[in-house]
Amino acid sequence: MAAEGCTALPWRDPDWPRAGLPCHSADDARSISAPDMNGLLRPAETEALLLSLEVALRSVLFSLPPAILIAWILARTRFPGRTLLDAFVHLPLVLPPVAVGYVLLLLLGSRGPLGRWLAGHFGMHLAFTTAGAALATAVMTFPLLVRAVRLSMEGVDPGLEEAARTLGAGRLDRFASITLPLVVPGILAGLVTAFAAGLGEFGAVITFAANIPGVSRTLPLALYTAMQSPAGDETALRLAVLSFALGFAGLLLAELLVRRLRHRREH
Amino acid sequence: MPAPAGLVVEVRKLRGAFALTAAFAAPAPSVVALFGRSGSGKSTLVNLIAGLLRPDAGCIRLGERTLCDTAAGIDVPVESRRIGYVFQDARLFPHLSVAANLRYGERRAPAPRAASRFEELIALLGLERLLSRLPHQLSGGERQRVALGRALLCQPHLLLLDEPLASLDAARREEVLPYLEALRNRLALPMIYVSHQFEEVLRLATHVVLLEEGHIRAHGSLESVSLDPALQAVLGPDLTGAVLEGVVGAVDAADGSAELRVGGGTLRVSLAGVGPGDRVRLQVLARDVILAVQPITGLSVRNALPGTVTAVADDAFGALVSLDVGGVTVLSRITRAAQRSLALRPGDAAWALFKAISTRGHAYRRP
């Protein structure tokens, strides 16, 4: 999967950072398993962890507003194309992440139509950057977020919105004062789940943002890189354990949040 | 019947297999009871008035304002109608405190809010101690009182109450009914009260619209509709009875009874908590009224009113006799056998006898 990611496209894209090719060199492996006497983690591991946290955080912040909008549309409106929209939103769940990354590269790479426009008008480059890694992660975790918010929204009694209407609240007002506060548990649970999933996004990130230390080498990419190096076994294990711990903590936190909030406003 | 500031409704609405056709008008500060069995279209009609449903055809006017007129393409959105709505299930916002729930509509009302109005209403509804609570910490009756306050604080021109007591048990109902009575007496606000409990209608309403299978079977003042066979068919033999309105005269507090001037005559009725001059409405159940064709003495019965038979109806439960006693009508239910032996006909003289304690009366407006 990753091998394809590093051979299929780069030569056609002038941005492809040849120096930081994901195709592992001995240098790569050495840098990632270089011993660090100061703490629990080695510098390269810390770097990957922090980068993963940054990418996941940026991805959920980026996708939250559209996720709420889409969730609201799916939960509260009826229109002919609704089923199509529903399916489209859930696509990343079933597509190979590499395919998603590839499509992003086609659209947002420096030769892609959107990429050229962004670069021309805003000087913005997404491919092979940390922002790009966050975007790829956002696309992959988007369905998780939409799902959580939508389920929560469907649990809000439409009668409450009607009541708000009779009290003089317009559509946006009702949404902001009634619906949104009532789906906060769902939003938080969705955020935590999407964040935890985002920490581990691999295929879309390596395809769209490559595997550049400090830029896009997140935990799973670092883990993969370590696995590919003869001396990386120990590092790979440490990173795997770290990933497990993070994911587990994230899911626990999401569950606790939902329970807490549900308990607080038990009806 | 339509007064300048009243409510005029004329709507048609098809919902699946159910068709509602309703046309009625109510004078300005009246309390109109929408009465009928479940599924008769009461809630549909209320939702049409609120604007939550849109009529297929027709118009709704409140005072000078046209809220909806399909022919003219007018449909004022719910949020601009200024119609308060108290739902059966209260629908308090679960994430907001009682105070925030109460203020929700007030904040969105266009008129400048008077601080005193909030305090006054809170006191009137007995909500002072509840302000900082969350809805799930309230009893059913308290919830409905908060919902009532919330609807009133948005300064509505009309208040809709859709079976606000239906989900409460008898004790909880008594937590709300007196407040509703107080509101009706204090505020000159037209209300539409949906119910299938005649007791509530009797205590609160001034007018009745009787709905059956999507059609209005009878409408008018409570007194006149109480004599309508369509209402009697819904109420059944146990609840049928003339509704009378009168003014309290002398009160015998020790006895728990009072004189009530009704039409041209005076009734002796069991009434507590009223004073001379109070307006009282009471129902004399038809099955409690005994008929005599000549004056009878030596009975414990406190009311023996001379009158004239105006109608004799033979229905599923026996004979129902209408008797004009001094300008008001009372109903008497007698068996067919009794009717055969008395052979009452319109125009005959007869006496209506009923006990003071067999009346159900409620003060409905202080002088």
Q: Give pLDDT tens digits for B41-100.
A: 999 999 999 999 999 999 999 988 999 999 999 999 999 999 999 999 999 999 999 999
Q: Taking CB atoms and an 8 Å cutoff, what residues of chain B touch A183? A: none
Q: Taking CB atoms and an 8 Å cutoff, what residues of chain B touch A159? A: 87, 89, 91
CB atoms within 10 A of CB B233: 15
Q: Are strands B31-35 and B207-212 parallel, antiparallel or unpaired?
A: parallel
Q: Are strands B74-75 and B83-86 parallel, antiparallel or unpaired?
A: unpaired
CATH of domain B242-362: 2.40.50.100
Task: Mark yes or no for CB contact A165/B151 under 8 Å.
Answer: no
Task: Mark yes or no for CB contact A166/B134 under 8 Å.
Answer: no
ipTM of the complex as predicted: 0.84
CATH of domain B7-235: 3.40.50.300
pLDDT band at B192 (very low <50, low <70, confident <90, very high): very high
Tell me the C-alpha distance between A220 and B195, whole Å.
64
Task: Mark yes or no for CB contact B91/A163 under 8 Å.
Answer: yes
pLDDT band at B214 (very low <50, low <70, confident <90, very high): very high
Q: Give pLDDT tens digits for A147-188.
A: 999 999 999 999 999 999 999 999 999 999 999 999 988 899
Interface test with B, best of A152, A162, A167 (most B CBs within 10 A): A167
Residues of chain B with CATH 2.40.50.100: 242-362
pLDDT band at A189 (very low <50, low <70, confident <90, very high): confident
Instruction: Tell me which residue of A159, A165, A174, A160 sits closest to B82, measured CA to CA.
Output: A165
Interface test with A, best of B46, B67, B78, B107 (most A CBs within 10 A): B78
| B139 has a chain A CB within 8 A of its CB | no
Percent of chain A with pLDDT over 70: 84
- How large is the average pLDDT for residues B349-359? 87
Q: Taking CB atoms and an 8 Å cutoff, what residues of chain B touch A263? A: none
Q: Taking CB atoms and an 8 Å cutoff, what residues of chain A touch B91? A: 157, 159-160, 162-163
Task: Provide the pLDDT for residue A124.
Answer: 87
What is the chain A residue with the closest CA to B109?
Answer: A168
Q: Are strands B207-212 and B290-292 parallel, antiparallel or unpaired?
A: unpaired
Task: Mark yes or no for CB contact B94/A168 under 8 Å.
Answer: no
Tell me the C-alpha distance between B253 and B272, whole Å.
8
Q: CA of A68 to nearest chain B CA: how many angstroms apart?
A: 19
Of A168, A178, A267, the CB nearest to B109: A168
Tell me the C-alpha distance between B347 and B186, whole Å.
43
Q: Taking CB atoms and an 8 Å cutoff, what residues of chain B touch A178? A: 93
Q: CA of A149 to nearest chain B CA: how many angstroms apart?
A: 17
Percent of chain B with pLDDT over 70: 96
Tell me the C-alpha distance between A100 and A96, whole Å.
7
Tell me the C-alpha distance between B12 and A215, whole Å.
66
Q: Give pLDDT tens digits for B128-137.
A: 999 999 999 9
More confident residue, A214 or B117: A214
Average pLDDT of chain A is 84
Phi, psi (degrees; rounded to nearest 5) at B343: 50, 55
Superfamily of domain A41-266: MetI-like (1.10.3720.10)
Structural tokens at position B358:
């067999």
Q: CA of B19 to nearest chain A CA: how many angstroms apart?
A: 23
Contact residues, chain A to chain B, C-beta under 8 Å:
157, 159-160, 162-170, 173, 177-178, 181-182, 265-267
Task: Provide the pLDDT for residue A253.
Answer: 86
Q: Is B273 left (phi over 0), alpha (psi -120 to 50) or beta?
A: left
Residues of chain B with CATH 3.40.50.300: 7-235
